[in-house]
Amino acid sequence: MSLALLCPGQGAQHAAMFDRVRNVATAQSILDAAADVLGRTPDSAAAADDRFDNANAQPLLCAASLAHWQSLRDRVPTPLLVAGYSIGELAAHAIAGSFDAATCLTLSTQRAGLMDEASPPDSGMQAVLGLEREPLQALCAAHDVYIAIANGADHFIVGGRLDALQTLADVATARGAEVRPLPVHVPAHTPLLSDAARGFAQVLADTSIQAPTLPILAGIDARPVRDRATVERTLSLQLAQTVEWTQVMRQAFERGARVFLQLGPGNALARMVASAYPCCEVRAIEEFRSLDGAADWVHAALGRMQ
């Protein structure tokens, strides 16, 4: 089958993000495990003003992707592959079988803690649209900012200290780019979090992990992850290294994915795939009123792609 699952990163959390799975029996164990790590129900955490704080955002996003997939997995065919964006890569590994949902949620809180501890004060991330990679890279090098995520030929997320980000934003805007601050308060996927990457590598080494049972693409290089050592290496390096999401989308397409379903909140990943590959069928779970509607669409989309 040509179905690919996409697990999102931070930024789209909202109070209703668990509405479709709140009363689904198969999702309850994940919601309960999320409540254990959050110290409150996922609904309460998603509705709170601190839902964008790293310590809450990361388990919330993992819980949302996993709860939606757990609710859908018996209604749709086995995916061709799965991929995750930023923290979504952790959820993607749980879907792929590298570890169970409870382990994923525990890892998400440990990951967030290490990132918060390593993060310089007054740092964050912003989107830059309208500059290609080479000129943007030159600006980043000149202003102590780093490319954190590559989303397209002229669509990037950059990270660094806030004063440096503001300087880069001023220069980039003067060159015709559009700059958007993001509700993320750590410079994820940049060398500023090298200490967090080393710490998370140790956490992963001490965690029960196995080779994925579903194909999964690594965010840092879009290569398939086939063994435990690569799970540990790619998930830890990702904290301090650019996420090459453009390459992930391309690799998914080249491997035969033609139907893409984004799990969790928002539709940013779905929009990026639809823009890059208009020949594909692409939707986000939040575009459907119900899980039944999402499952029906998956079957219909796969049929149209045959």
Residues 100 and 198 in one domain: yes
Assess whether 136 and 177 both reside in one domain.
yes
Please indicate, yes or no, whether residues 243 and 209 belong to a single structural domain of this protein: yes
CA dihedral defined by 285, 291, 295, 296, rounded to 10 degrees?
-110
First to last CA, the chain: 9
186, 193, 221, 246 from 251: Cα distances, Å: 28, 27, 10, 9
For position 306, what pLDDT does the model report?
Answer: 83
CATH number, domain at 139? 3.30.70.250
Regarding whether 168 and 90 lie in a shared domain, the answer is no
Question: What is the spatial distance between Cα 213 and Cα 55, in angstroms, rounded to a whole number?
Answer: 29
Looking at residue 118, its pLDDT comes to: 98
**Same domain, yes or no: 113 and 220:** yes
Question: Is residue 47 situated within a structural domain?
Answer: yes
Question: Can you list the residues of the chain whose pLDDT is less than 70?
Answer: 1
111 and 218 housed in the same domain: yes
Q: What was the pLDDT predicted at 21?
A: 97
Note the pLDDT tens digit of each residue in 178-211.
Answer: 999 999 999 999 999 999 999 999 999 999 999 9
Q: Which residue has the tokens 């799970």?
A: 231
Helices 88-96 and 54-72: crossing angle in degrees, nearest 10, is: 30
- Domain count along the chain: 2
Half-sphere exposure of 228 (CA within 13 A, CB side): 8
205 shares a domain with 65? yes
- Indicate whether 283 and 244 sit together in one domain: yes
Q: Are residues 59 and 153 in the same domain?
A: no
How far apart are the C-alpha atoms of 187 and 189, rounded to whole Å? 7
Evaluate whether residue 186 is within a structural domain.
no
Question: Do residues 209 and 99 make contact, with C-beta atoms less than 8 angstroms apart?
Answer: yes
Q: Are residues 113 and 133 in the same domain?
A: no
| pLDDT (0 to 100) of residue 1 | 64
pLDDT tens-place string over residues 146-185: 999 999 999 999 999 999 999 999 999 999 999 999 999 9
The DSSP-derived string for 207-229 is S-----SS-BB-TTT-PBP-SHH
Quick one: 113 and 143 in the same domain? Answer: no
- Tokens describing residue 87: 């923290």
Structure tokens at 147: 């490319």
For residue 73, what are the domain limits? Answer: 3-118+191-304
Q: What are the helix and strand counts (H, E) for the chain?
A: 12, 8
Alpha carbon 85 to its chain's center:
3
Assess if residue 278 is contained within a domain.
Answer: yes
CATH number for position 215: 3.40.366.10
